[in-house]
């Protein structure tokens, strides 16, 4: 199977090959293979994020709201968590979580009620509307992801999955606090 060249970006951004050539010109010690892999992964992740955000916009939810819906789904039925646990899982401050929940309650994505067993405790629960939006987003994502992987054969996918998993594991081992939030770097 021959390697395909990525289509050049149309937004004025250099193609990966051209970018790596510039890096080599300015920093001759750079490994072009490593830089090509890392630059390509970075672009794939960025463009996937944009595509997912567009899909969520169609559904009338934000990426931030989707993260809350996902956390509640991952928690399992009955899809409930306390706001503190949600904030912890999402790497947010309690104030930021409260603001996000306020918006989501107004949009009928979640409910906020007192725990009957402990009236001091608040419970955030996924609504039927919230679950339907999450399911719709998953359906849209599945179509997009299948299109994304159409040039990778079924036989190649396990190897790609394994390689990416090993890369992720390495980053998680060496950067355990790098969960996607950069507010500590400001």
Summarize the confidence of residues 65-75 as an average pLDDT: 97
In the beta sheet, which residues pair with residue 112?
Answer: 124
> Is there a domain that residue 32 lies in?
yes
Looking at every residue in the chain, the average pLDDT score rounds to: 90
Tell whether 75 and 19 lie within a shared domain.
Answer: no
Domain count, the chain: 2
Partners of 81 in the β-ladder? 124
The tally of CA atoms less than 13 A away on the side-chain side of residue 105 is 13
**Percent above pLDDT 90 for the chain:** 80
Are residues 111 and 52 part of one domain?
Answer: no
What is the distance between the alpha carbons of residues 72 and 83, in angstroms, rounded to a whole number?
11
pLDDT at res. 23: 94
Q: Which of 116, 131, 146 is the last residue of a domain?
A: 131
Cα(110)–Cα(68) distance, integer angstroms: 9
Least confidently predicted of 62-76, 124-138, 146-160, 165-179: 165-179
109 and 93 co-located in one domain: yes
Q: Give the end of a domain, one of 100, 116, 131.
A: 131
10 Å CB burial of residue 124 (0-12, 13-18, 19+) is: buried
For residue 147, being part of any structural domain is answered with no
CA 166 to CA 181: how far, in whole Å?
Answer: 21
Q: Return the CATH number at 119.
A: 1.10.10.10
Domain, as residue range, for 38 = 14-59
107 and 127 both lie in a single domain: yes
pLDDT-derived band at 180 (thresholds 50, 70, 90) equals low
pLDDT of residue 1: 44
pLDDT value at residue 119: 75
How does pLDDT run across 2-44, given as a tens digit for each residue?
Answer: 455 555 556 688 999 999 999 999 999 999 999 999 999 999 9
> Are 47 and 67 found together in one domain?
no
């Amino acid at each position: 199977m021959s390697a395909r060249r990525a289509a050049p970006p149309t937004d004025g951004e250099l193609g990966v090959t051209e970018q790596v050539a510039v890096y080599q010109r300015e920093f001759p010690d750079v490994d072009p293979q490593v830089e090509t892999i890392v630059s390509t992964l970075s672009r794939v992740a960025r463009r996937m994020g944009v595509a997912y955000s567009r899909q969520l916009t169609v559904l009338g939810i934000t990426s931030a709201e989707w993260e809350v819906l996902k956390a509640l789904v991952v928690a399992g039925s009955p899809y409930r968590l306390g706001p503190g646990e949600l904030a912890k899982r999402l790497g947010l401050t309690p104030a930021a979580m409260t603001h996000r929940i306020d918006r989501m309650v107004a949009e009928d994505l979640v409910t906020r009620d007192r725990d009957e067993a402990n009236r001091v405790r608040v419970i955030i629960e996924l609504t039927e509307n919230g679950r339907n939006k999450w399911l719709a987003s998953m359906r849209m994502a599945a179509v997009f992801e299948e299109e994304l992987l159409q040039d990778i054969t079924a036989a190649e996918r396990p190897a790609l999955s394994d390689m990416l998993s090993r890369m992720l594991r390495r980053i998680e081992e060496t950067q355990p606090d790098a969960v996607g939030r950069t507010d500590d770097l400001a």
